[in-house]
């Protein structure tokens, strides 16, 4: 089973110029489509590089705005736009998502906007989830709120997404021998007091220790020099790495 990963947004919690926050489209065997995260700016990029009505499911890694805020325009399009699909897309979100999304949309009196537009379920991070023909497994990784790295296995290759995290062993174990690790590289310098994000070097080290075949660095700002980010990742990884670029795809 082939997997095609397209970068829709790679920014950290503030958007790059003309960019978008966390959002990645996964196409399985040229048909079924999964959206991993839907941060601010992602819905517009989804319309630019794909078709929102063809998204079968959305998976949210954790409950921070830069990973879910564009569920709001997505929900408005599904509710009030042209009726282009016969059933609602699935929305798989972490425990506590229903209450969090109701608080978000309740700010303007529309508490159930998102759950009315999507088939919302809160996934069990300890259980395997069948997701558009892929087997999804989760690991809790260190962040400011509960954040879940995810492994997507299609039988012919495995894609792992780090979510947002600091250095940790759980991601090394989850990503062991994966075909591709999409991993955050937010920090220019390590924050030794608050380990909730990674530097490019730390991301490269995790990839090296996990023995992954390919490493793609994401979730870094355009205020950082991409050549410096890449070089730091490559020194630690011991091989070439790719930087996430909006609109670019990676085949597995």
Asked if 242 and 215 touch (Cβ cutoff 8 Å), the reply is yes
Sheet holding 90-93, edge to edge: 119-122, 90-93, 57-59, 32-36, 23-28, 3-9, 249-251
Q: How far apart (Å, rounded) are the C-alpha atoms in residues 200 and 131?
A: 29
How far is the C-alpha of 36 from the C-alpha of 162, rounded, in Å?
A: 11
Residue 205 reports pLDDT greater than 90: yes
Average pLDDT for the chain: 96
Answer whether 247's CB lies under 8 Å from 23's CB. no
Label residue 30 left, alpha or beta by phi (over 0 means left) and psi (-120 to 50 means alpha): left
pLDDT score of 64: 98
**Per-residue pLDDT, 143:** 98
Confidence class for position 92, pLDDT limits 50, 70, 90: very high
**pLDDT of the residue at 89:** 97
The answer to whether 12 and 220 are in contact (CB under 8 A) is: yes
Give residue 156's pLDDT.
Answer: 82
What is the average per-residue pLDDT within 7-30? Answer: 95
With cut-offs at 50, 70 and 90, classify the pLDDT of residue 1: confident
- Domains along the chain with CATH numbers: 3-251 (3.60.15.10)
Whether the predicted pLDDT of 88 surpasses 90: yes
Statement: residue 192 has pLDDT above 80:
no
For residue 202, give every residue at least 6 positions away whose Cβ sits within 8 Å of its Cβ, in sequence order, or none: 167, 185, 190, 236
pLDDT tens for 218-243 read 999 999 999 999 999 999 999 999 99
pLDDT at 243: 98
pLDDT in tens, 127-145: 999 998 899 999 999 999 9
Residue 114's pLDDT band (cuts 50, 70, 90): very high
CA separation for the pair 239, 217 (Å, rounded): 13
d(CA 63, CA 95): 9
Residue with tokens 């790495």: 241
pLDDT at 86 over 90: no
DSSP secondary structure letter of residue 238: T
Given a contact cutoff of 8 angstroms between Cβ atoms, the answer to whether 41 and 21 are in contact is yes
């Amino acid at each position: 089973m082939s997997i095609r990963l397209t970068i829709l947004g790679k920014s950290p919690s503030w958007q790059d110029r003309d960019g978008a926050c966390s959002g990645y489209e996964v196409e399985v065997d040229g048909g079924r489509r999964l959206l991993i995260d839907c941060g601010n700016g992602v819905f517009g990029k989804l319309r630019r590089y794909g078709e929102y009505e063809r998204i079968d499911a959305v998976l949210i890694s954790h409950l921070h705005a830069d990973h879910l805020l564009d569920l709001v325009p997505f929900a408005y399009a599904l509710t009030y736009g042209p009726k282009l699909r016969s059933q609602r897309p699935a929305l798989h979100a972490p425990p506590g998502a229903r209450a969090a999304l109701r608080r978000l949309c309740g700010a303007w009196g529309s508490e159930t906007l998102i759950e009315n537009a999507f088939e919302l379920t809160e996934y069990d991070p300890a259980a395997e989830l069948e997701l558009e023909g892929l087997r999804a497994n989760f690991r809790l990784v260190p962040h400011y709120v509960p954040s879940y790295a995810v492994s997507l296995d299609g039988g012919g290759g495995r894609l792992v997404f780090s979510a947002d995290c600091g250095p940790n062993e759980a991601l090394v174990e989850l990503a062991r021998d994966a075909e591709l690790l999409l991993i955050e590289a937010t920090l220019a310098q390590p924050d030794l007091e608050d380990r909730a994000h990674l530097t490019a070097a730390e991301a490269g080290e995790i990839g090296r220790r996990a023995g992954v075949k390919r490493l793609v660095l994401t979730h870094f700002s355009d205020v950082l020099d991409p050549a410096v980010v890449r070089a730091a990742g490559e020194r630690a990884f011991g091989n070439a790495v790719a930087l996430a670029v909006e609109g670019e795809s990676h085949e597995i």
